[in-house]
């Protein structure tokens, strides 16, 4: 949104009167303070912050029940203020991690709140899932407790795993430093870069990893922000990719990861971009959609790509992919004319695919390992409003979800039974 | 008489823009290989039909632009204005911000009622600008949410507000493999609803036009703009002025009425297909000549064999023998792949049209038996060449052209419906399972009717 009508919009080449439509919430101050002192300090202002000092101690119950209760009014008020500045509020993006206490607990509390206060507005959640070697011991508890909330209150979830982001960062790093590339890589095109160059990757790996997620969200909203011959809005993503309410977990991939400096892009390279979108190492979670079952797939292309390129590649890749029997041609496509900075074209693929199942099963297993021994439970149960049933309901919700994916997987490769059509008396 | 065009959704607006562009380009681009007097008649008839004269220097398209998000309309308006040869009325559009989310129910049950008054006011304004209103031409896709859902609602409103006007819906059939995952649901709901309020549905299939772009127009990287330009050319070839009667002294004043009268004798049969030949890249036009007999021969075989373009025609398909002892309404007696017609309209534009022999199209074996042979076929002609083609001919056909595509769409939609996938997205906005079943029933009835021709 713009601040007042007076005052310069652009000063010294930088836009200085735009404010992010955002709330920054953390139960400790360090990260938010750093943002407010950094290059984006003018984009946020203090009215958009909610912070506390002591943090949530990696405890979902502290975040959800304790701080949730405490900050509810404050959060609602700030949300309403921000919503008032919108001519037409379509969607909330929630960005958080699952393994900790604030993002996970308070984050899912806010998810509930958004459904209560703004029931018509879509809720897209970008969730960073913990890896197996996560150093937060209670992350399985936090994640599973949060999953129940995501199951019930999110319209779409984009799961992200740090391992995948890390692998992508390393892959780029190796490509740049190995000297294998004939031409030089355009720095600004790196999916991991913003202002920092590749050299900084070693020092601040999370920045590079987070940039990938930022690019994901940019691509997701590109069609809403720029013109194109076939627009794809956020509500269309929700409509086309969520065939049943609880099956709303979308595996995402971004290509290309970088662009070479030569301008002429042969068709072969364009087609390579499509192939990469389906490869295991371009996914943002540890998953292999090619060998699992697709319920639906969306392709949002940006830049100098036309409908014939899209069709050619769908025809080419379709035979090697498995789609559920009732959605054999389940493709949603979008064409946005403006490519990302530094690229001539790019592709975001979103898959509703049973390949998320292993992530959820692993989560369940890590949860059960702790839960069987009742390890660390007391930290949770002594919080007001927290009971044993919260845990049993949460794991039950996750188990049900896994079972739904199992049932779908069981249909994979099976015989196609066409339901008999309506008969009309002649 | 004037036609008011209603452009609905992204597809409707993008195509509408190309149509007006093509029509304008045709009128100003060439002298049409005919006399000055003829050219002037053509120009005047076209102007009256599609444009209103306002204080502005350029003609203003008789159109209402509707979309539930702003980007496409904004682009359409500015691109037209930049052309310098025509523009849209600055006030003749309505848009919102959030779109319809590819959700037919959202377009039909939410946006429709909510914005009915504003939209119909715009239509009324355009209608009043016409000295004589010849009817409405709506352009929409079936696959999305606005064109399809809001489009169906608006068509109903048009019918209610203008009960005696002609309404022709131009409907775009999406690519078979994915533009929108729920496109088959949206299509079933759109077609079944349109059938109740519309006079006829004129269909273009993206897959077919795409093939024409690839094989006839030799376009390497085909964009939606390319597809839309071919569609616009085909539509222009039908709706630009022509003489409806042999020896007529005036260009037909009532194109929509004439079209309906010749092609839609029965309300159960409203599906119209369109073929136009020849089609080739603009830079080849100067080097190509065609003969009318050749063109007519190809067009007739395209009709009989249900060919989508002038290559790959199956010349083996022949009409059935007349005078067979079994009643000809029994479909099993027709040779396989033979496309039976109810009625056909051939439009001829260009050099030496009056010498063309159209007897082969009047062959009764092409048609069902329930119309008089002379009523099943009509021809419109003009010596004025269209869009730089020395000779151009179009066929608008009420036949089994769209039977297979319709059957495919219904089959896929039914397959998905059996699993109940995505239904919750529609019930959220008030379209229930029974509404789907009604739609399926209507379409199965139409399929059955066309199958048994």
**CB within 8 Å: B179 and A333:** yes
SS3 helix, strand, coil % of chain A, rounded to 5?
45, 15, 35
- Mutual angle of helices B71-83 and B9-29, in 10-degree steps: 10
Question: What count of Cα atoms within 13 Å lies in the side-chain half-sphere of residue B422?
Answer: 29
In chain B, residues 321-360 whose CB comes closer than 8 Å to chain A: none
Give the domain ranges of chain A.
20-154+376-411
What is the per-residue pLDDT for A197? 47
| Per-residue burial over B240-277, b = 16 or more CB atoms within 10 Å of its CB, e = otherwise | bbbbbeeeeeebbbbbbbbbbebbbbeeebbbbbbbbb
To the nearest whole Å, the CA of A76 is away from the closest chain B CA by 23
Q: What is the mean pLDDT of residues B181-190?
A: 97
What is the per-residue pLDDT for A113? 96
Is B93 within the bounds of a domain?
Answer: yes
If asked whether residues B7 and B57 sit together in one domain, one would say yes
What is the per-residue pLDDT for A424? 79
Which of B58, B107, B241 has its CA nearest to residue A239?
Answer: B107
Tell me which residue range forms the domain holding B373. Answer: 282-320+337-401
Res. B4 pLDDT band, cuts 50 70 90: very high
Q: Decide which of B376, B401, B426 is a domain's last residue.
A: B401
Res. B375 pLDDT band, cuts 50 70 90: confident
If asked whether residues B228 and B261 sit together in one domain, one would say yes
Q: What is the mean pLDDT of residues A131-157?
A: 94
If asked whether residues B298 and B152 sit together in one domain, one would say no
**Which chain A residue is nearest to residue B445, measuring alpha carbons?**
A424
Q: What is the mean pLDDT of residues B218-246?
A: 94
Residues belonging to chain A with any Cβ–Cβ distance to chain B shorter than 8 Å: 87-88, 90, 227, 229-231, 233, 235-236, 238-245, 296, 306-309, 311, 314-315, 318, 325-333, 335, 418-419, 421-424, 426
If asked whether residues B14 and B143 sit together in one domain, one would say yes
Indicate which CATH number applies to the domain containing B157. Answer: 3.40.50.1440
Indicate which CATH number applies to the domain containing B296. Answer: 3.30.1330.20
To the nearest whole Å, the CA of A50 is away from the closest chain B CA by 29
Res. A2 pLDDT band, cuts 50 70 90: very low
A238 contact residues in B (CB cutoff 8 A): 101
Any chain A CB within 8 A of the CB of B179?
A: yes
Q: Given A329, A332, A421, which is nearest B414 (Cβ)?
A: A421
Is B332 within the bounds of a domain?
Answer: no
DSSP per-residue letters across B201-216: EEEEEHHHHHHIIIII
Q: What is the mean pLDDT of residues B59-74?
A: 95
Residues of chain A above pLDDT 70, percent: 88
**CB within 8 Å: A311 and B175:** yes
Res. A183 pLDDT band, cuts 50 70 90: low
If asked whether residues B170 and B181 sit together in one domain, one would say yes
Entry pTM: 0.92
Is B208 within the bounds of a domain?
Answer: yes
Q: Given B97, B176, B224, which is nearest A307 (Cβ)?
A: B224
If asked whether residues B260 and B358 sit together in one domain, one would say no
Q: Given A245, A330, A424, which is nearest B181 (Cβ)?
A: A330
Write the ipTM. Answer: 0.90
What is the per-residue pLDDT for A19? 85
Q: Is the pLDDT of residue A204 over 90?
A: no
**CB within 8 Å: A296 and B102:** no
If asked whether residues B163 and B310 sit together in one domain, one would say no
Q: What is the mean pLDDT of residues A280-287?
A: 94
If asked whether residues B396 and B441 sit together in one domain, one would say no
Cβ atoms within 10 A of the Cβ of A404, count?
Answer: 15
If asked whether residues B309 and B441 sit together in one domain, one would say no
Please name every residue paired with B95 in a beta bridge, in sequence order, or none if there are none.
B67
Which of B62, B61, B58, B60 has its CA nearest to residue B84?
Answer: B58
Res. A172 pLDDT band, cuts 50 70 90: confident
If asked whether residues B232 and B303 sit together in one domain, one would say no
Is B264 within the bounds of a domain?
Answer: yes
Number of domains in chain B: 3
User: Is-contact B276 B264, C-beta < 8 A?
Assistant: no
Q: What is the pLDDT of residues A11-54, one digit of tens each?
A: 555 556 788 888 999 998 888 988 888 888 888 888 889 999 89
Q: Is the pLDDT of residue B206 over 70?
A: yes
Res. A193 pLDDT band, cuts 50 70 90: low
Any chain A CB within 8 A of the CB of B451?
A: no
If asked whether residues B77 and B155 sit together in one domain, one would say yes
Q: Where are the beta strands (DSSP E) in B231-270?
A: none
Is B446 within the bounds of a domain?
Answer: yes
Is B230 within the bounds of a domain?
Answer: yes
CATH topology of domain A20-154+376-411: Rossmann fold (3.40.50)
**CB within 8 Å: B214 and A308:** yes
Q: What is the mean pLDDT of residues B214-236?
A: 95
Cβ atoms within 10 A of the Cβ of B224, count?
Answer: 21
What is the per-residue pLDDT for A6? 40
Mean pLDDT lowest among A248-262, A314-328, A357-371, B344-358: A248-262
To the nearest whole Å, the CA of B163 is away from the closest chain A CA by 30
If asked whether residues B397 and B408 sit together in one domain, one would say no
Q: What is the pLDDT of residues A325-380, one digit of tens each?
A: 999 988 999 999 999 988 889 999 999 999 999 999 999 999 999 999 999 999 99
Is B325 within the bounds of a domain?
Answer: no
What is the per-residue pLDDT for A180? 56
Q: Is the pLDDT of residue A4 over 80?
A: no
């Amino acid at each position: 949104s713009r601040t007042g009508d007076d005052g310069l919009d652009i000063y010294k080449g930088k836009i200085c009167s735009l404010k992010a439509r955002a709330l920054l919430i953390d139960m400790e101050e360090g990260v938010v303070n750093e943002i407010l002192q950094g290059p984006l300090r003018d984009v946020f202002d203090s009215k958009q912050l909610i912070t506390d000092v002591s943090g949530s101690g990696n405890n979902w119950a502290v975040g959800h029940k304790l701080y949730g209760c405490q900050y509810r009014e404050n959060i609602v008020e700030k949300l309403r203020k921000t919503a008032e500045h919108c001519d037409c509020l379509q969607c909330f993006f929630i960005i958080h991690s699952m393994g900790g206490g604030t993002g996970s607990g308070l984050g899912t509390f806010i998810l509930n709140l958004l459904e209560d206060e703004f029931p018509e507005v879509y809720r897209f959640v970008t969730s960073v899932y913990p890896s197996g070697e996560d150093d937060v011991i209670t992350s399985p508890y936090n994640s599973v407790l949060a999953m129940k909330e995501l199951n019930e209150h999110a319209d779409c979830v984009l799961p992200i795993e740090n391992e995948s982001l890390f692998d992508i960062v390393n892959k780029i790093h190796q490509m740049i430093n190995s000297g294998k590339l004939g031409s030089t890589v355009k720095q600004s095109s790196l999916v991991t870069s913003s202002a920092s160059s590749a050299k900084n990757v070693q020092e601040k790996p999370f920045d590079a990893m987070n940039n990938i997620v930022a690019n994901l969200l940019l691509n997701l909203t590109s069609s809403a922000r720029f013109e194109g011959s076939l627009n794809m809005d956020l509500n269309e993503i929700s409509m086309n990719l969520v065939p049943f309410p609880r099956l709303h977990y979308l595996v995402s991939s971004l290509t290309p990861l970088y662009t070479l400096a030569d301008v002429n892009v042969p068709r072969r390279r364009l087609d390579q971009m499509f192939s990469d979108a389906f490869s295991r190492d371009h996914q943002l979670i540890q998953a292999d959609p090619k060998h699992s079952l697709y319920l639906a797939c969306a392709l949002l292309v940006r830049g100098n790509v036309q409908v014939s390129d899209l069709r050619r590649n769908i025809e080419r890749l379709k035979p090697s992919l498995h789609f559920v029997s009732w959605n054999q041609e389940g493709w949603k496509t979008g064409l946005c004319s403006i490519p990302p900075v530094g690229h001539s074209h790019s592709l975001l693929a979103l898959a509703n695919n049973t390949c998320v199942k292993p992530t959820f099963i692993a989560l369940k297993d890590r949860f059960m390992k702790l839960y069987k021994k009742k390890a660390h439970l007391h930290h949770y149960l002594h919080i007001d409003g927290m009971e044993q049933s919260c845990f049993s309901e949460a794991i039950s919700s996750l188990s049900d979800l896994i079972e739904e994916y199992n049932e779908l997987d069981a249909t994979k490769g099976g015989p196609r039974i066409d339901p008999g059509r309506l008969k009309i008396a002649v | 008489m004037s036609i008011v065009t209603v452009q609905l959704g992204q597809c409707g607006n993008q195509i509408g823009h190309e149509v007006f562009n093509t029509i304008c380009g045709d009128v100003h681009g060439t002298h049409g290989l005919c006399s000055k007097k003829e050219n002037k008649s053509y120009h005047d008839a076209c102007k009256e039909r599609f444009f209103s004269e306002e204080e502005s220097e350029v003609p203003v398209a008789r159109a209402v632009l509707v979309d539930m998000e702003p980007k496409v309309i904004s682009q359409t308006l500015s691109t037209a204005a930049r052309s310098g040869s025509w523009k849209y009325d600055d006030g003749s559009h309505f848009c919102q911000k959030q779109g319809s989310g590819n959700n037919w129910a959202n377009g039909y049950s939410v946006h429709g009622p909510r914005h009915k008054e504003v939209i119909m006011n715009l239509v009324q304004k355009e209608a009043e600008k016409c000295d004589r209103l010849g009817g409405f031409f709506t352009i929409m896709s079936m696959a999305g949410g606005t064109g399809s859902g809001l489009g169906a609602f608006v068509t109903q409103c048009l019918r209610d507000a203008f009960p005696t006007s002609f309404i022709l819906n131009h409907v775009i059939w999406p690519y078979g493999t994915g533009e929108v995952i729920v496109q088959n649901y949206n299509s079933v709901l759109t077609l079944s609803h349109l059938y109740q309020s519309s006079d006829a549905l004129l269909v273009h299939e993206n897959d077919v036009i795409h093939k024409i772009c690839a094989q006839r127009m030799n376009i390497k990287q085909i964009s939606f703009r390319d597809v839309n330009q071919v569609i616009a050319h085909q539509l222009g070839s039908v709706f630009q002025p022509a003489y409806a009667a042999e020896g007529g002294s005036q260009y037909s004043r009532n194109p929509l009425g004439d079209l309906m009268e010749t092609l839609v004798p029965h309300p159960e049969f409203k599906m119209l297909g369109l073929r136009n030949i020849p089609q080739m890249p603009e830079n080849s036009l100067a080097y190509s000549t065609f003969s009318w007999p050749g063109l007519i021969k190809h067009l007739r075989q395209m009709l009989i064999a249900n060919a989508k373009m002038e290559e790959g025609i199956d010349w083996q398909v022949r009409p059935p023998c007349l005078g067979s002892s079994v009643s000809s309404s029994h479909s099993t007696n027709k040779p396989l792949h033979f496309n039976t017609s109810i009625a056909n309209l051939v439009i001829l534009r260009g050099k030496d049209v009056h010498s063309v022999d159209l007897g082969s199209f009047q062959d009764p074996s092409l048609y069902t038996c329930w119309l008089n042979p002379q009523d099943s076929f009509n021809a419109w002609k003009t010596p004025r060449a269209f869009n730089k083609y020395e000779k151009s001919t179009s066929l608008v056909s009420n036949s089994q052209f769209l039977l297979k595509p319709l059957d495919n769409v219904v089959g896929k939609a039914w397959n998905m419906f059996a699993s109940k996938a995505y239904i919750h997205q529609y019930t959220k906005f008030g379209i229930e399972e029974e509404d789907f079943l009604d739609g399926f029933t209507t379409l199965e009835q139409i399929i059955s009717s066309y199958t048994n021709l």
